[in-house]
A and B are shown apart, each in its own frame.
Chain A
Amino acid sequence: AQSVAQPEDQVNVAEGNPLTVKCTYSVSGNPYLFWYVQYPNRGLQFLLKYITGDNLVKGSYGFEAEFNKSQTSFHLKKPSALVSDSALYFCAVRDLSNTGKLIFGQGTTLQVKP
């Protein structure tokens, strides 16, 4: 079965420092991987996706993610964190069985302190 894991419930980082939010996946075949962000009382917003091609994927708001097939990881990164980046982040994998549904990790809360 397809799954993703986010090993950290919360990540704390100082404003201006680089940030990493970790995600590992388990799929059969080639993965379609996604990152979403959720601000309080809002729906999920798409950040970026990996389908194929370059292992470094660039997305919205200066975020990027690195696909690593050997480590089955898809970590979200940003070179310089902003206080406004504080939110809940979800990694997801698209189930390429007959339904194509998105399967989400449990989420990581990012706290950026001034």
Chain B
Amino acid sequence: EAGVAQSPRYKIIEKRQSVAFWCNPISGHATLYWYQQILGQGPKLLIQFQNNGVVDDSQLPKDRFSAERLKGVDSTLKIQPAKLEDSAVYLCASSPLRGPYGYTFGSGTRLTVV
């Protein structure tokens, strides 16, 4: 089966600019996750979608981050305006259900804010 697709792979922007990331999960996977992985740390969940509804966005900095999942399939994550501390790898993952399944991760987008 095709994996989780993410784009772009790399992005360099200046602080205060905006940026958007795209994710296409595995077909049929109801649950989609966006994680932020800062260098030297484990991934931290930003937002979780079940179909096109938000299940958990408790750690999403809502003053600058936003996300949507169109028609329960693709998802975009946006940062506006970006800060230096947003430099990280943004990982998208999907899973079929909330049961005892692992996630399938995309390759991630490495964001550098200068």
Write the residues of chain A forming the contact surface with B, with a CB cutoff of 8 angstroms.
32, 34, 36, 41-46, 49, 51, 90, 94, 98-107
Query: Is the Cβ of A101 less than 8 Å from the Cβ of B100?
Result: no
How far apart are the CA atoms of A101 and B42 in the complex, in Å?
A: 14
Residues in chain B near residue A105, CB distance under 8 A: 42
- Can you report 25 residue pairs joining A to B where beta carbons are below 8 Å apart? A32-B100, A34-B102, A36-B105, A41-B107, A41-B110, A42-B107, A42-B108, A43-B6, A43-B91, A43-B106, A43-B108, A44-B105, A46-B104, A49-B100, A49-B102, A99-B48, A101-B33, A101-B48, A101-B56, A102-B93, A104-B42, A104-B43, A104-B44, A106-B40, A107-B42
| A-B pairs under 8 A by CB, number | 58
Query: Is the Cβ of A94 less than 8 Å from the Cβ of B100?
Result: yes
Residues in chain B near residue A45, CB distance under 8 A: 105
Query: Is the Cβ of A44 less than 8 Å from the Cβ of B91?
Result: yes
Residues in chain A near residue B31, CB distance under 8 A: 100
In the assembled complex, how far is the CB of residue B9 from the closest CB belonging to chain A, in whole angstroms? 8
- A46-B41 CB under 8 A given contacts A100-B98, A101-B48, A101-B56: no
Query: Is the Cβ of B41 less than 8 Å from the Cβ of A106?
Result: yes
In the assembled complex, how far is the CB of residue B56 from the closest CB belonging to chain A, in whole angstroms? 4
Residues in chain A near residue B40, CB distance under 8 A: 106-107
19 extra interface residue pairs, beta carbon distance < 8 Å, beyond A36-B105, A98-B55, A99-B48: A32-B100, A36-B102, A43-B6, A43-B106, A43-B107, A43-B108, A44-B43, A46-B102, A49-B102, A101-B33, A101-B45, A101-B56, A102-B45, A102-B93, A103-B45, A104-B43, A104-B44, A106-B42, A107-B40
Write the residues of chain B forming the contact surface with A, with a CB cutoff of 8 angstroms.
4, 6, 31, 33, 40-45, 48, 55-56, 91, 93, 98-100, 102-108, 110
How far apart are the CA atoms of A103 and B93 in the complex, in Å?
A: 13
How far apart are the CA atoms of A45 and B107 in the complex, in Å?
A: 9
Residues in chain B near residue A43, CB distance under 8 A: 4, 6, 91, 105-108
How far apart are the CA atoms of A98 and B56 in the complex, in Å?
A: 9
Residues in chain A near residue B110, CB distance under 8 A: 41
In the complex, which residue of chain B has the Cβ closest to the Cβ of A6?
B42
